[in-house]
Amino acid sequence: MGERKKKVEIIYFYSGLYESKKSLLPVVKKLRRERKDINVRLVDIDDPENTELTELYNVNSVPLVIFLTPKGTIASRKSISLSDEDIINSIVDQVIKGDLPKPCVNELKEMILNSLKSIPKRNELTELIIDQIESDVLEADSENEVYEVINFHISIINHTIRDLEEFKKVLQAHVKRDQVFII
C-alpha cells in the first residue's frame, strides 16, 4: 500500500464510441511495464457508472488525461491520447520531481474560471466558447501557457465579433424596411 501512494495516478477519459477498452489495454500494459511509478485508470465517459467521476473532473471532451499527484491533487490535464508516451512521460517526470502542480498557476486558473461563471450563457455559441476557454485554461501548466490561452481566445473572440457584424450586415440588407430587429 505504501508503494501505491508514491505512484502518479493517470486517469484516461475516453468514449467507447471512438475507442474500446480492449484496444487501450495494450497501451496501459506497455505504460505500466515501462513505468513502475504510475497507476493507469481507464474511464469510459459513456458508461453511466462514470458520470459522477466525469463531472468531478469537468470532462467536456475526450480523450483527456488527468495526472494526479501521489496525494491525489490534480497535477495536470491534457487532451491527448494515452499512446502519446513522450508527453505522458514528461508530465509524470515533472510530477515526481515536484514541478507540477504549481500552486500560483492553479490560483490564477481558478480566478479566471470563477470570472467566467459571471458571463451569461444566452445561447449555445456562448456556452461552446466558455467550455472551450475553461478546457484550455485547465490544461495550462505554466503562467505563460495561461496567458497564451487568454490571448488566443481574445483573438478568436475579436475575429468572431467582426464575422458576426458582417453576417448582420448581409442579413439586414434582406429585411423589410419597416421591420425592427429584436436585440
Task: Report pTM.
Answer: 0.85
What are the structural domains of the chain?
2-97 (3.40.30.10), 103-172 (no CATH)
Residue 6 confidence (pLDDT): 83
- Given this model, what pLDDT does residue 5 score? 52
Mind giving me the DSSP string for 106-150? HHHHHHHHHHHTTS---SHHHHHHHHHHHHHHHH--SHHHHHHHH
- Judged on CB neighbours under 10 Å (0-12, 13-18, 19+), 132 is middle
Residues 145-182 pLDDT 10s: 999 999 999 999 999 999 999 998 998 888 877 777 66
CA 87 – CA 82 distance, rounded (Å) = 9
pLDDT, tens digit (0-9, with 9 covering 90-100), for 48-107: 999 999 999 999 999 999 999 999 999 999 999 999 999 999 999 999 999 999 999 999
Report the pLDDT value the prediction gives residue 4, as an integer from 0 to 100: 45
Dist. CA 61–CA 138, nearest whole Å: 12
pLDDT reported for residue 182: 67
76/79 Cα distance (integer angstroms): 10
Angle at 104 between CA 57 and CA 136, to 5 degrees: 45
- The answer to whether 109 and 48 are in contact (CB under 8 A) is no
Supply 95's cell numbers.
510530477
Count other C-beta atoms under 10 Å from residue 163's C-beta. 10
